[in-house]
Structure 1
């Protein structure tokens, strides 16, 4: 309808536009020509003839005047007409725009008068536009919401938006629930309220339906509660029974988990496909893998070395229904460890195997203790043997050495009695001496004495296992004892001319916080000297080009104990040799060089007499590391009750 009105009004506006402009132009022409006509009439009346030259001049002046007056007037009239036309078109476009809005649109003056409404408002409320424009908002708003809430009006005046719900009165008197969204807007350079109003009748109906549904649901819930209350006693009993069973199951599960986690062995349970079902704390420590990460994973992924050993053992023995035990070595935390593995099958109630339990024990320390006990038993056995046979050996040994010394004295030309007896018997002493030298009798006698002294030293070392020294223990500095042993070993090697100790680099690393130990100085020096001699002899056996012999001495503190390490970069030893290195009379040297008692005596002094520990680590081609642990002072150590070591008197 509006578009049709607009099309009908355009011809009328066009005619009005050109009518006004034609009338104006006519007036201007008349006003300009009137003075010319008047001048010509007066001139003719006075002179009786026309002066056409003056008339033409006056006519030109009149035309110029007409142009100067007509152009501004025409332009002014044209601009006002264009502006009026544009404003009319803007109003028409605004009306067309708001008529397209789905909601009701009201343009309201500040005093409440309705200035403009859209077609939707007319259709919803039943009024015409003229009827609505003749009313006020208070005539439609039954609740007078804005009038009763001045804060909302102030919010709009400050440029804000307001949303509220109220009731509008339709033309027939019907109440319509509406939602209003309003704000301030300028219209014709004056502030107005523009309101967008939505009919929320359907929403209110939906809310009522929801309320009815809630009421029905509440009734149903009450009915259900009544029925549930009727059976609550039985349900409560069942719930209590189930909770008791669950608590018992949880407590048993926690108890079993704590029991398994408290075991010192690694416990791993796997199913028939070797997927992990149980992984205790000790297994976590061995592998650095938490139980939550291990459950459900393949054993070959978590512990490949163990899985490989199990497969190898299973290939040799049928695991079905049988226990399996084996040992193997692997690296744990970058250390070589020996593990003892026991495998038990798991059976169901139907005697069907559904997996196995693997128990893992780290027996590395136990094996070392067993080795120590074996060595200690050997030392004690040697001590008992030495104590029993020392007298039987010393008596003939003393007679042999004494007789040999007497023979050498009686064959010496330095004693006058020997010369006198030779004259009495008619023996030429010089010839006899030449004969003895020619037959190397003196060398044989020296060999007898040297062998006797060596045997005496062996007996003395054997007695170290049975008799203590006759000196009392005192406070000993480990650094001083090591320095003394280094000096003695260098001097000993230089005298024997077997190798030059000065060519061996001695590297010392002494911690400053090392205290003192309670021991006999000659005991520590003897131990350190034996270790240095063995290291130097091992280094001398290396004939590799570009080899630089090195002995490293490290002294540091470990808690309440002193740790002494003697390390060399020599040829090292294999595992079999390492296990026997502390055995009495075990040696890798020839019979003339070693007796096999140096390290065994050192081990006995450290472990039995000083209450310490002594271990060795070695691999072929990687040198040796001897480690000594001695308790520092202020420890409960009683060294005065040890037996004294008595040297064999010769």
Structure 2
């Protein structure tokens, strides 16, 4: 009995233990299932995050590819724009040079290359005063312009190139860097513009206006002078006639007054009265020719043109000036005049009287310059005259080794009534009349080149074929 009871107790304990084990196992299964479900949930979340991340990376990659493609397009556009700007700048006929703040070249356009022969590669990095040595500005001036950010403009700078004056406008524009607040400059753009044609046209228009006014004045003066001049010449002719031994009426009147006419003529000859009268007559006739030239000058008369031997005309002008009796005659004897023309120098269809007037004016100006006491005379005073053919023109140059012409005077010497001579020693009409005769009556050119202290050169260019045809067809 006791044994059965013990066995039952054991069996009951085993059942309890089994129940406990089964309950624990069930709880473990439930926990494992919950953990498994949680793991699956986390796995799904992780997969979603990976998917979202992948999608985001794909989108970012697409955006990056689009950005790269956009940058490539922009870079291509920038290159095209750069080439277009370079083409535009190189198409400008003006010299355009970029310089850094230290004055070294950063850009050099085609016009600068054509002007200097210096290529872009050689000019790049070179200082502007070396690349453009004739630029009329110093290194310090350029530095100040860039430093103070003030544009610099200098108009109508004159330079002599191939013996011809050229005019330029110089402009310098400082470049402002991106840091506007700091006001730092990164360099400058230098523009050199050839304005020679514009200046010549302006000068021609101004000169034509002045010549038009002068022509009207010349005509009035000529008519006023003609009357007393005619009286002088008429009376001189009468005096010569009435003192001539060849007229019987002169002898009769001398006999009437018991005057020995032969002795009277000896007296006149010994006192050089006939020579004085001849001088008056020649001077009067010369004045008459000048008046006629003034009238032709005012009325643009081309009717008296013919084939002119220029060297012969020059020799006549030289001889006339030698015998003109100027106040500086004593010094003129020391002036050596050299004339040299090519053997085949052609004749020109022109007005001999007008050209002689031009040559007389230029020679007299040269003589007066050489006779001046305002400079140190060279050992030999020289006037050189030369003539040659250039293309379809004949060129006559008259030069002297006198004091030259100052720059502030040179631009005005062809203006009417402009003179540097003392009152009573010059009218200021000689060169202006010469200018009008050459440019208007003969469709030529007259210019002057001079450096003060080194003499002056007047150059006359007269057309051959063109002016001949024009004149012959009038």
| Fold shared by both chains (TM-score > 0.5) | yes
1:283-298 correspondence runs (5 A): 283-298=112-127
Q: Matches of residues 79-158 of structure 1 in structure 2 within 5 Å?
A: none
Establish whether residue 246 from structure 1 lines up as the match of residue 75 from structure 2: yes
Secondary structure in structure 2 of the residue aligned to 1:639: helix
* Structure 1 residue 632 corresponds to structure 2 residue 464: yes
Q: 3-state SS of the aligned residue for 1:361?
A: strand
Q: Give the corresponding residue for 2:296.
A: 464
Q: Please give the alpha-carbon distance, in whole angstroms, between the structure 2 residues aligned to 1:309 and 1:501.
A: 46
Local SS of the residue matching 2:297: coil
Shift of 1:608: 0.9
Residue 75 of structure 1 corresponds to none
The aligned counterpart of 1:549 is 382
1:575 aligned to 402, 407, 422, which one? 407
Structure 2 CA distance for partners of 1:319 and 1:473, relative to 1, 3 Å: farther
**How has the CA–CA distance of structure 1 residues 326 and 503 changed in structure 2, closer, same or farther, with 3 Å as cutoff?**
closer
Q: Pick from 85, 97, 102 the counterpart of residue 256 of structure 1.
A: 85
Please list the CA deviations of residues 594-650 of structure 1 after superposition, one character each: whole Å capped at 9, or x if unmatched.
Answer: 6654443332222112211111222344333222222231679523577xxxxxxxx
Q: 1:635 to 1:257 in 2, by over 3 A?
A: farther
Answer whether contact 1:570 1:622 (CA < 8 A) is retained.
yes
Given the two structures, how large is their TM-score scaled by the length of structure 1? 0.49
Q: Distance in 1 between matches of 2:450 and 2:169?
A: 23
Inter-partner Cα distance in structure 2 for 1:332 and 1:599: 22
Instruction: Give distance in 1, aligned partners of 2:156 and 2:141.
Output: 11
Q: CA deviation at 1:280?
A: 1.8
* Structure 1 pair 526–449 and aligned structure 2 pair: CA distance change class (3 A): closer
1:386 Cα deviation after fit: 2.3
Match of 2:432 among 588, 595, 600: 600
Structure 1: distance between partners of 2:378 and 2:148? 58
Deviating more after overlay: 344-353 vs 332-341: 332-341
Report deviation, 1:338. 5.2
Contact 1:535/1:551 (CA < 8 Å) preserved in 2? no
Give 1:483's match in structure 2, choosing from 297, 300, 311: 311
Counterpart check, 1:382 vs 2:210: no
Partners of 1:330 and 1:469 lie apart in 2 by 35
Cα-to-partner distance string for 1:276-325 (whole Å, 9 max, x where unaligned) = 3322222334444322233344435544664844744886x896454332
Per the TM alignment, residue 253 of structure 1 is displaced from its structure 2 partner at its CA by 0.8
Matches within 5 A, 1:636-647: 638-639=470-471
Classify 1:466/1:621 alpha carbon distance in 2 versus 1 (closer, same or farther; 3 Å): same
| Corresponding position: 1:324 with 2:156 | no
Looking at CA atoms only, which structure, 1 or 2, has the larger radius of gyration? 1
Root-mean-square deviation over aligned CA pairs:
5.2
Instruction: Name the SS of the counterpart of 1:382 in structure 2.
Output: helix
User: Counterpart of 2:43?
Assistant: none
Structure 1: tracts of 5 or more residues without a match: 1-228, 643-650
Q: Paired residue for 2:108, among 255, 279, 286?
A: 279
SS of the aligned residue for 1:351 comes to coil
Give the alignment partner of residue 519 of structure 1, picking from 350, 360, 368. 350
Aligned counterparts of 2:382 and 2:130: Cα–Cα separation in 1 = 44
User: Is the Cα contact below 8 Å between 1:490 and 1:502 reproduced in 2?
Assistant: no
> 2:24 is matched with which residue?
none
| Matched ranges for 1:581-596 at <5 A | 581-586=413-418, 596=428
State the partner residue of 1:609. 441
Partners in 2 of 1:410 and 1:540 — Cα distance? 42
Find the aligned partners of 1:273 and 1:546 in 2 and give their Cα distance. 48
Q: Tell me the CA shift for residue 540 of structure 1.
A: 6.4
Structure with higher RCO (Cα < 8 A, 6+ apart): 2
Q: Is the 8 A contact 1:553 1:564 kept in 2?
A: yes
TM-score by length of 2: 0.64
